[in-house]
Amino acid sequence: MDERKSFPNPTDHPPVRRSFPLPTLHELDVPSLVDSWAHRMYYSVGKDEYTATSWDVYKALALSIRDRLMERWFRTQSDYYESDVKRVYYLSLEFLMGRSLLNNILNLGAYTKYSLALEQVGYRLEHLEEYERDAGLGNGGLGRLAACFLESAATIGLPFYGYGIRYEYGIFNQKIVDGQQVEAPDNWLRNGNPWEVARNDALFPVKFFGRIEHYKDEGGLDRIRWVDTQDVYAMAFDTPILGYKNEIVNSLRLWAARSSREFDLSKFNAGDYVRAVEDKNGTENISKVLYPPDDQYAGKELRLKQQYFFSSATLQDVVRRFLKRKGRKWDELPDKVAIQLNDTHPAVAIPELMRVLVDDHRLDWSYAWDLTQAVFGYTNHTVLPEALETWPMDFFSRLLPRHLQIIVEIDRRLREAVRTRYPDDTARVERMAILDDKNQRLKMANLAITGSHAVNGVAKLHTDILRETTFRDFEELFPGRISNKTNGITPRRWLFKANPGLSALISETIGTAWVGDLEQLSELEKFIGDVSLRERWREVKRANKVTMAHWYKRVHGFDLDPDSMFDVQVKRIHEYKRQLLNVLHVILLYLRIRDGWEPSAPRTVMIGGKAAPSYVVAKRIIHLVNVAGKIIAGDPKVAKHLGLFFLPNYGVSCAEKIFPACELSEQISTAGMEASGTGNMKAALNGALTIGTMDGANVEICDAVGIDNMFIFGHTAPEIVDLRNRGASSSEYIKANPELDRVIRELESGVFEKASPGTFRPIAEMLRGNDYYFHCADFNLYVACQERASDGYVDVEQWTRMSILNVARMGRFSSDRTLRQYAEEIWHVKPIHLRSRG
Ligand code: 26Q
């Protein structure tokens, strides 16, 4: 018997006609804030002044803020429902949210009030902030972009829903042991998460495995159903997302895997109690851990399970919400629903929507296909063809047999279309096909492009490369489908919150409108000649450097010299991002200083970021940074002028401490390889000058701030392509540049590897052999450009002018702008104006 029958069903609604009082909008004055904080402390946390820890104080505060968000959430959502708005669903395997406390307080417009309220009970807001664990449900740029989009969507008033997975373990914690990365689990939910609301009744079954059955429906038509499946339930957890001072609250809905009762009970009834419980845990593993990126997809069955699990649950929720209104016609689907795929990770949602429409709702194929294409949009985040996701057909078909059939049919029709247009071009058909017959794999990008009406890159250069190379065949078959939406960042988190000193100075100079309308920063240009502004600008940066140095000392135990230039490269460790180029330059400076040369300005070079656990080369680079840093610190003659430090466990919260202190921002990827970058925007918005290649969004940042206000170097994307085609070898560059040769010889000499000889030999071998990322080709240009930066830094007034101009011209890199473009050009939704506002 189903265990459920013996309990009241939590999804049942009571049979009486309901009339709840409307949620009150509580006041945001100090006494009310203290009152509701105390309420949460006593009644939810269950502590008093004798027993409450600082964490309890934080928790009561977070809960009392969430209460205020919920009041606004009900109003927003009922407005959406009443006006039957078109909704945008952003499907992403990653949401790198970081902390929520201060952002919610600032977006409520109640910072001072909350500070005062906490003071009354004996606490400081800034201290409490540190008790919140980062929600690190993402790896890097792609996940953080999703988080910035959530905040911006709420701020500009889009009916926008983030959908993803509530991983129990987010991105691993990085420890440095003996100079090397060691991964530790991120058990972020250990103490509970006060921001989420568990929806025990929002429970959707998700099917796996099983087989296909043909049957005849009541009308005698041939139909297909998917049977004998193993089912898992997806349970929803909602996090309210508040817009900046606009009372709009959207939601982020994350799914957790829960075992299905039927699945357990067969074994349970057979008397195998322990096995039944084990299976339950096995099923719930689906939402256990975030995957780090990996070049080896084969065998990662759990990753594919995650993708389908959350796509299926999300579509059930989307379709349920769509059909809730009486008299709905399927024709309306594209007028009410837009689904954006954050990379190909949720691309299985395309065949899943087809399955729902064709099998469950019995629409005919071509009608269902038209609806599907009209609904989906796909964002690509990589130009590297080898990084495009593929799945082995055999295990895809075992896990999702019906979806493979559907993909086969989509593929058949696609091939037919290609053949009709290019009758003799079989190579083209194979390139564009979704099924790679030769390797027996599914090409998810081809599926995503075919199933979407709009495909976009994340920076101009990136989109051009997609159109001209990676997806050229698709651009030709579907002209106009690929467009550009240059990434952005939310100015509320990345300036207003992270850098209160600079924010206050900007607001004092041009007023506060820039927080909600970043283009207003251009007003700063008028004050560029103001000596006292420049002076105060420098004081703010200096204070931020001191703050960061204190933090670094406290957490990692080393001294950073705030009188040196803070030269920062923080991002995932990857060869194409060329942290190694940065280290080679540092080693060169070290050698030169040892020889008696004096640099124009002292520098502290800081490198931070995580390496994928299986990425051996990236881990070796981290090791090198740590070892070289130690050697430099141990040489007093050098250490006066130069420091090299690794910033461990880089994540959202430590980024908020680093960018405000950053003076020189390293954006030095091999041209043509970084899709966009967003750290480049975060640093520039905080007054850093960029040293970078003409890659990703650097190109547009340069266009905005002017080439005279940046340090641009290196081969351009077409030049890199040329070098590659020519088969240019690194040896020509090494021969032409004795200093480069010397740096590599230093690596070969073993001075960096006293403990384990040979550790860095592979790096030297790579540089002399197959230098795929063109470190050697760009080395000279990089060193020369660094010299310009050093000289520039000494001209304090000029540097400050450039810094102010960088900030003044960053307006277009607000994710508010990005979202408006998606809304207008891809989703066709208009920002709403709340009727019940105020
Ligand atoms: C793939 C398969 C299996 C497991 C993990 C993955 C995986 C996970 C994450 C693959 C890629 C990612 C993340 C990619 C990413 O962050 N890309 C970055 O996206 C940013 C936002 O558009 C850009 O600014 C960066 O240039 C781009 O590198």
- Cβ neighbors of 628 (< 8 A, separation 6 or more) are 583, 586, 587, 590, 644, 752
Tell me: pLDDT of 7 over 60: no
pLDDT of residue 325: 96
Please give the Cα distance from 675 to 129 (Å, whole number): 33
Separation in Å, CA 41 to CA 35, 54, 57, 488, 603: 10, 11, 7, 38, 47
Tell me: pLDDT of 603 over 90: yes
Q: Check: CB of residue 257 under 8 Å from CB of residue 232.
A: yes
Ligand 1 centre from 55 Cα, in Å? Answer: 33
Q: Check: CB of residue 68 under 8 Å from CB of residue 26.
A: yes
Tell me: pLDDT of 796 over 60: yes
Q: pLDDT digit string (tens) for 220-237?
A: 999 999 999 999 999 999
Ligand 1 centre from 140 Cα, in Å? Answer: 7
Tell me: pLDDT of 419 over 50: yes
Supply angle C-alpha 795, 797, 802, rounded to 5: 95
- Closest ligand 1 atom to the C-alpha of 140? 16
Residue located nearest, by CA, to atom 20 of ligand 1: 141
Q: Provide residues with CB under 6 Å of ligand 1.
A: 139-142, 145, 291, 293-294, 297, 303, 381, 389, 458, 487, 674-678, 696
> Token digits for 695?
């890659």
Ligand 1 centre from 141 Cα, in Å? Answer: 6
Average pLDDT rounded to a whole number, residues 731-747 = 98
Ligand 1 centre from 341 Cα, in Å? Answer: 13
**What's the pTM?**
0.97
- Closest ligand 1 atom to the C-alpha of 293? 5
> Token digits for 174?
């990085």
Residue located nearest, by CA, to atom 11 of ligand 1: 293
Q: Check: CB of residue 692 under 8 Å from CB of residue 716.
A: no
Of 139, 289, 308, the residue with max ligand 1 atoms within 8 A of its CB, to mutate for a pocket test, comes to 139
Please give the Cα distance from 307 to 486 (Å, whole number): 26
What is the radius of gyration, based on Cα positions, of the chain? 28
Of 301, 381, 463, 670, the residue with max ligand 1 atoms within 8 A of its CB, to mutate for a pocket test, comes to 381
Tokens 């890097």, residue located = 140
- Cβ neighbors of 338 (< 8 A, separation 6 or more) are 86, 87, 88, 89, 375, 377, 826, 827, 828, 829
- Count Cα atoms within 13 angstroms, Cβ side, for 280: 16
- Closest ligand 1 atom to the C-alpha of 138? 9
Neighbours of 348 (CB within 10 A): 27
Residue located nearest, by CA, to atom 7 of ligand 1: 293
pLDDT of residue 32: 98
pLDDT of residue 2: 42
Ligand 1 centre from 147 Cα, in Å? Answer: 14
β-pairing verdict for 337-342 and 222-227:
unpaired
Average pLDDT rounded to a whole number, residues 131-155 = 98
Tell me: pLDDT of 620 over 70: yes
Residue located nearest, by CA, to atom 25 of ligand 1: 677
The model's confidence at residue 782, banded by pLDDT at 50, 70 and 90, is: very high
Arithmetic mean of pLDDT over the chain: 95
Query: What strands, in cross-sheet order, belong to the sheet with 711-712?
Result: 642-647, 603-608, 565-570, 664-667, 689-692, 711-712
Tell me: pLDDT of 627 over 50: yes
pLDDT of residue 1: 35
Q: Is 524 exposed, middle or buried (0-12, 13-18, 19+ CB in 10 A)?
A: buried
Q: Which one is predicted more confidently, 404 or 9?
A: 404
Portion of the chain with pLDDT greater than 90, in percent:
91
Of 95, 382, 466, 669, the residue with max ligand 1 atoms within 8 A of its CB, to mutate for a pocket test, comes to 382
- Cβ neighbors of 664 (< 8 A, separation 6 or more) are 565, 566, 567, 568, 688, 689, 690, 691, 711, 789, 793
Q: CA 457, 463, 465, 469: dihedral to nearest 10 degrees?
A: 70
Ligand 1 centre from 381 Cα, in Å? Answer: 6
Q: Is 488 exposed, middle or buried (0-12, 13-18, 19+ CB in 10 A)?
A: buried
pLDDT of residue 383: 86
* CB burial readout 771-795, b (16+ within 10 A) else e: bebbbbbbbbebbebbeebbebbee
Please give the Cα distance from 218 to 86 (Å, whole number): 34
Task: State the SS3 of 783-822.
Answer: HHHHHHHHHHHHCHHHHHHHHHHHHHCCHHHEHHHHHHHH
Q: pLDDT digit string (tens) for 524-550?
A: 999 999 999 999 999 999 999 999 999
Ligand 1 centre from 615 Cα, in Å? Answer: 15
pLDDT of residue 283: 85
The model's confidence at residue 3, banded by pLDDT at 50, 70 and 90, is: very low
Supply angle C-alpha 111, 117, 119, rounded to 5: 100
pLDDT of residue 17: 77
Tell me: pLDDT of 23 over 90: no
Q: Is 620 exposed, middle or buried (0-12, 13-18, 19+ CB in 10 A)?
A: buried
Average pLDDT rounded to a whole number, residues 192-206 = 96
- Closest ligand 1 atom to the C-alpha of 674? 26
Q: Which residues are catalytic?
A: 381, 571-572, 577, 678, 682
Please give the Cα distance from 737 to 489 (Å, whole number): 39
User: H-type helices in 573-662, by residue range?
Assistant: 579-594, 616-633, 636-639, 652-658
Tell me: pLDDT of 818 over 80: yes
pLDDT of residue 299: 56
Q: Check: CB of residue 607 under 8 Å from CB of residue 647.
A: yes
The model's confidence at residue 264, banded by pLDDT at 50, 70 and 90, is: low
Tell me: pLDDT of 6 over 80: no
Of 92, 142, 680, the residue with max ligand 1 atoms within 8 A of its CB, to mutate for a pocket test, comes to 142
Please give the Cα distance from 537 to 502 (Å, whole number): 7
The model's confidence at residue 293, banded by pLDDT at 50, 70 and 90, is: confident
Residue located nearest, by CA, to atom 8 of ligand 1: 293
Ligand 1 centre from 294 Cα, in Å? Answer: 10
- Closest ligand 1 atom to the C-alpha of 675? 26
Residue located nearest, by CA, to atom 10 of ligand 1: 293
Tell me: pLDDT of 461 over 90: yes
Ligand 1 centre from 162 Cα, in Å? Answer: 17
- Closest ligand 1 atom to the C-alpha of 300? 3
- Closest ligand 1 atom to the C-alpha of 462? 26
Domains and CATH numbers, the chain: 84-98+134-485 (3.40.50.2000), 542-810 (3.40.50.2000)
Average pLDDT rounded to a whole number, residues 564-584 = 98
Q: pLDDT digit string (tens) for 161-184?
A: 999 999 999 999 999 999 999 999
